[in-house]
Amino acid sequence: MWRYRDVLPAVEPVTLGEGWTPMLQSRRYENAWLKEEATNPTGTFKARGLSMAVTLARHYGLKKLAVPSAGNAAGALAAYAAAAGIEAHIFMPRDVPFANYLECIAYGAHTTLVDGLISDCARIVNERKEAEGWFDISTVKEPYRVEGKKTMGYELVEQLGWEYPDAVFYPTGGGVGLIGMWKAFEEMEQLGWVTGKRPKMIAIQSSGCAPVARAFREHEHASTMWQNAATFASGLRVPKPYGDYIVLDIAEQSGGLVLDFPDEDILRSLLDWSRHEGLLLSPEGAAATAAYDHLLATGFLSKTDRVVLFNTGAGLKYTDLTAQQMGLKRPVTEADLPARMPVGGIITPQ
C-alpha cells in the first residue's frame, strides 16, 4: 500500500507487504470484480489500517497499544506490534475464530478473552487504559487506521483504469474501510486522478447483528445498540459501531444502501462462490456476494453495472465457525478411537 506514500503520512513504514491485493473478475458475471483482501499479511484487510497505525505509534514513541477486536484487527495489531517492538494488549470475545486467538499468542501479544462482545472488550480497554498506560487504537478513535484503509479506494480505481465502478459492496462491522474509501475518492478528485460519478456504496451486515442496516431502514442518523448479537460472520458482530453515522451518511450521499442478510443466505453464497468461482470467501465477504445477487434479483443493479465486491478476509481463518454453520465435523477414523484390549473374551476399551 506504500505505493501511495505521497498521499499518506510521511513516516518510515512498519510494513509486512500489505496492500495491492488482486482484483479478480468473476467467472460468471462479466462486470463483477472481487477485491481479494485475503492476500494481505494476517489474511485480512485489517493489515492496512494496523500497518499505518503502528507506524505512527512507533513514530510518536508509543510503547503500549490496546485494542478491542472481533478477531482480525487483534491478529493484525499483534503482528505489526511484534514487527515494531511495541507491546500489544488484545481484548477479544471468547468465541472468536480460533485462528485469531492462535495468531495473537504466536505473535506474543498480551491476550485476554472476554465473555461478551466487542463492545464489552471496548469498555474494558476504556476503563483500564489510563492506569495501564495503553494507547487505545480502536477504529475511529485514532486518526491513522482510516489512512491505511483508504488505500483500498486508491487501488480499486487504479486497477479499473482510473475509473469509478458503478457500485462498491463492503461488509460493514465498524465500517472504517468504507469511510476510508470515501475519503480516498475525495482526495483523488481533488488531485484530478479520477472524474465522474462516485459509486453507490453498499454496506452489508448480518441479520444477527444489523444496527446500521436497521438505522438506515428507519432513516435514523445513528444506530442504537443491537441486543443479543449473533452471527458466524464474526467481523460483522459489532453491536454499536463508533462511526455508524458516517457510514449512514456515505450510503445516503452515494445513492447506496445498507443491507443485512441472515447467516443462511451468507453461507449459501459462500458455498456458491467456492464451487463456481474457486474462491473460499470469509463469511463477511460472502455477505457482499449475497447482497450482489439480491440487488440483481430486485433490479436495483443490472448485470451491465460494473461492481467491486470486497472479500475482506481469508475463508480459512474461519474454519471452525464455517464448519459449525455447515454442520460439518471431522470424520472419525479408527486411529481416533480408544485402544481396546481383550478381557475374558470381551473386547473393552483399554
CATH of the domain at 291: 3.40.50.1100
Is the residue at 350 inside a domain? no
Cell numbers placing 157: 480505481
Is the residue at 341 inside a domain? no
In this structure, the answer to whether residues 117 and 197 fall within a common structural domain is: no
In this structure, the answer to whether residues 26 and 56 fall within a common structural domain is: no
Question: For residue 186, what pLDDT is reported?
Answer: 98
Distance between CA 204 and CA 284 in Å, rounded?
A: 8
In this structure, the answer to whether residues 220 and 235 fall within a common structural domain is: yes
Q: Which residue has the cell 477504529?
A: 139
Distance between CA 237 and CA 226 in Å, rounded?
A: 9
Distance between CA 203 and CA 71 in Å, rounded?
A: 20
Q: How many domains does the chain have?
A: 2
**Residue 318 in contact with residue 283, Cβ under 8 Å?**
yes
Tens-digit pLDDT string for the chain (350 aa): 999 999 999 999 999 999 999 999 999 999 999 999 999 999 999 999 999 999 999 999 999 999 999 889 999 999 999 999 999 999 999 999 999 999 999 999 999 999 999 999 999 999 999 999 999 999 888 999 999 999 999 999 999 999 999 999 999 999 999 999 999 999 999 999 999 999 999 999 999 999 999 999 999 999 999 999 999 999 999 999 999 999 999 999 999 999 999 999 999 999 999 999 999 999 999 999 999 999 999 999 999 999 999 999 999 999 999 999 999 998 877 776 776 666 555 555 55
Distance between CA 250 and CA 222 in Å, rounded?
A: 12
In this structure, the answer to whether residues 92 and 204 fall within a common structural domain is: no
**Residue 176 in contact with residue 49, Cβ under 8 Å?**
yes
Distance between CA 350 and CA 343 in Å, rounded?
A: 10
In this structure, the answer to whether residues 182 and 299 fall within a common structural domain is: yes
Domain containing 84 equals 46-136
Contacts of 172 (CB under 8 A, 6+ apart): 178, 203, 204, 205, 212, 236, 241, 247, 258
Question: For residue 331, what pLDDT is reported?
Answer: 86
Quote helix, strand, coil % in the chain, to nearest 5: 45, 20, 35
Question: For residue 340, what pLDDT is reported?
Answer: 64
Is the residue at 60 inside a domain? yes
Distance between CA 281 and CA 284 in Å, rounded?
A: 8
Is the residue at 106 inside a domain? yes
pTM for this predicted structure: 0.92
Distance between CA 104 and CA 37 in Å, rounded?
A: 20
Residue whose C-alpha is closest to residue 36's, from 19, 24, 25:
24
- β partners of residue 114: 93
Is the residue at 305 inside a domain? yes
Residue whose C-alpha is closest to residue 269's, from 248, 297, 247:
297
Cell numbers placing 43: 489474511
Question: For residue 140, what pLDDT is reported?
Answer: 84
In this structure, the answer to whether residues 197 and 267 fall within a common structural domain is: yes
Distance between CA 346 and CA 350 in Å, rounded?
A: 12
Question: For residue 26, what pLDDT is reported?
Answer: 98
